[in-house]
Amino acid sequence: MNDITYQPIGIIHSPFKEPKGTPIQPPAARGVKGSVELFSKFVEGLKDLDGFSHIILIYHFHLAKAPSLLVKPFMDDQPHGIFAIRAPSRPNPIGVSVVRLVGIEENILHIEDVDILDGTPLLDIKPYLPEFDPPEVERRGWLEKNVRKFPASKDDGRFVD
Q: What integer pLDDT is reported at residue 156 of this predicted model?
A: 65
- Looking at the predicted structure, is the pLDDT value of residue 98 above 60? yes
pLDDT in tens, 17-28: 998 888 877 777
**Residue bearing the bigger pLDDT, 96 or 156:** 96
Q: For domain 10-64+91-130, is the CATH number 3.40.1710.10?
A: no
Average per-residue pLDDT in the chain?
87
- Looking at the predicted structure, is the pLDDT value of residue 112 above 70? yes
Given CA atoms 130, 117, 35, 23 in this order, what sign does their dihedral have?
positive
Beta strands in the chain (DSSP E): 10-13, 33-38, 54-60, 70-71, 80-81, 94-105, 108-112, 120-127
